[in-house]
Amino acid sequence: MESNDPSNSASENPPDEMLPVSDTETIHPNQESKGMEVHHHSHASHGKKNWKSYFWEFLMLFLAVFCGFLAEYQLEHVIEHNKEKQFVQSYIEDLKLDTAAISANLIYQKAKGKQLDSLMHYFEMQNIKGNESDLYYFARLMVRARRFQNSDRTITQLKNSGALRLIRNEAAADSIIVYQKLVEMILGNIADEREERKSVDPLLASIFNPYVFDKMLDSTNLIHRPPGNPLLRSYDASVHQDLAYLIHLIKGSNVILTTRLTKLHVRATNIIAFLEKEYHFS
């Protein structure tokens, strides 16, 4: 009779048996080094660069930088040249405005010169009575002036921005500088003539009737010859002579202005022709 005691029966699933040490796989150092050698030799070896390789790399880099510099320099040169042409074109337009203003001013100065001559003649000859209307008219016109102001838009911009250096054509730059110096001289003459006209006022007030002067002026500020021959305040030849001296000074300024404005007109016309030819403006 078989016993049912489980303790006496063999287990159907015996525990794993411990393998003897001699049966385990032994890993030898030689095997690991052999695997490492295979991994190491899987990459291709690179040779050292010689001096020629470095030289060519440097040369290519240098050429790239140098070509970039040349391109930038050329671009800057083109931009500055375009700016130069723009300034010159603008300056030519200013000169054309100047020539028109000079022409109008010359007509005025020549007419005023004749008026001053007539006024001086009346006082010198003491041919006063019967010509009072002319005396009033010429005396009142004497203290007026037609202002000349050159068109300085471009030259002011060139000076303030330091862009005058952009005018690389020396002849063009010199012509601009010479022209501006003549303009400044004329503006100085105009300022002197203004002071001379102011000095006339006290003598005009002592010789002429201010009420007559007032009636000669219309609502548009134009001066008209007075009707008839209104009396002067003074027929004193000595006072007339004092006024004649001041008229003489104004005549001198008138001659200077006429001469220099004529010269300025010629110079402006010549510069326009020169710049248009030099910069190929149509």
| pLDDT tens digits, 66-81 | 777 666 655 555 556 6
- Of 231 and 79, the structure prediction assigns the larger pLDDT to 231
The whole-angstrom separation of Cα 195 and Cα 193 is 5
CB 146 within 8 A of CB 190: no
Task: Judge whether 184 lies within some domain.
Answer: yes
Task: Judge whether 35 lies within some domain.
Answer: no
The confidence score (pLDDT) of residue 83 equals 81
The tokens describing 113, both together, are 């010169």
Residue range 170-197: average pLDDT? 94
Angle at 36 between CA 35 and CA 42, to 5 degrees: 95
The confidence score (pLDDT) of residue 47 equals 57
pLDDT reading at 116 higher than 90: yes
Q: Considering the chain, what percentage of its residues have pLDDT values greater than 70? A: 78
Cβ atoms within 10 Å, residue 100: 13
Task: Judge whether 25 lies within some domain.
Answer: no
Task: Judge whether 64 lies within some domain.
Answer: no
Residue range 19-24: average pLDDT? 45
Binning the chain into helix, strand and coil, the percentages to the nearest 5 are: 70, 0, 25
The confidence score (pLDDT) of residue 20 equals 47
pLDDT band at 248 (very low <50, low <70, confident <90, very high): very high
Q: Is the dihedral of CA 46, 51, 52, 55 positive or negative?
A: positive
pLDDT reading at 213 higher than 90: yes
Task: Judge whether 266 lies within some domain.
Answer: yes
Amino acid at 253: S
CB 91 within 8 A of CB 164: no
Angle at 249 between CA 248 and CA 254, to 5 degrees: 95
CB 227 within 8 A of CB 173: no
Task: Look up tokens 């003491």; give the residue.
Answer: 126
Task: Judge whether 132 lies within some domain.
Answer: yes
The confidence score (pLDDT) of residue 51 equals 75
Amino acid at 197: R
Task: Judge whether 209 lies within some domain.
Answer: yes
pLDDT reading at 46 higher than 80: no
Task: Judge whether 33 lies within some domain.
Answer: no
Structural domain including 148 reads 84-278
Q: Which residues of 128-154 are buried (b: 16+ CB within 10 A; e: fewer)?
A: beeebbbbbbbbbbbeebeebebbeeb
- Average pLDDT of the chain, as a whole number: 83
- The number of domains in the chain is 1
Amino acid at 182: L
pLDDT reading at 117 higher than 70: yes
Q: State which of 84-98, 148-162, 168-182, 248-262 shows the largest mean pLDDT.
A: 248-262
What distances in angstroms separate CA 160 from CA 50, 88, 143, 182, 232, one per listed residue? 58, 16, 36, 20, 53
Residue range 257-276: average pLDDT? 96
